[in-house]
Amino acid sequence: MFCDRCGTNLHELASFCPSCGKPVRVIPLMPVQSRIAGHIRLLGILWLALSAFRLLPGLFLISMVRHGNIMFLPPEVPFFVHGILRVVGSALLFSGVIGIIAGWGLLERQPWARMLAIVLGCFNLIDMPFGTGLGIYTLWVLLPGKSEAEYRQIARAA
């Protein structure tokens, strides 16, 4: 067996020509890993964790306002404060539930979860510091056009 480039006599088991260094056999390429494959699982777990931490104060505020036993407020607080606390508690509860749905959808590779996570990531940018960090990470992973094609392939495979 001889080298195609320089004509040197080659050993049977040689992978490269000892004279010119040309590969004798076809070397298999490394498998191409998608850009988002490693990030989707972490992103789903982070959405579940942050959303669970939002559920706790939401449930606390709603339960305290619903029963009327608001012990942490002084008695001279105006009545509309109770309504504000109810709205804030409901918003925290709603965003926690939607975030858990997005995290579960990402972990299950659901086709709709990418868009839901992008929308929630945009809203989370104003929630300092953890919401901002998760929003930036979500947008960095899921927003590019190449990520959309890769996520569709992952979602079809799941």
Read off the amino acid at residue 86.
R
Peptide bond into 129 cis (omega under 30): yes
Q: Tokens 């004798």 map to which residue? A: 24
Q: Report pLDDT for 8.
A: 85
pTM above 0.85, yes or no: no
Per-residue pLDDT reduced to its tens digit, 113-137: 999 999 999 999 999 999 999 999 9
Q: What is the mean pLDDT of residues 59-74?
A: 73
Q: Report pLDDT for 82.
A: 80
Q: Report pLDDT for 78.
A: 85
For 89, phi then psi, to 5°, come to: -60, -40
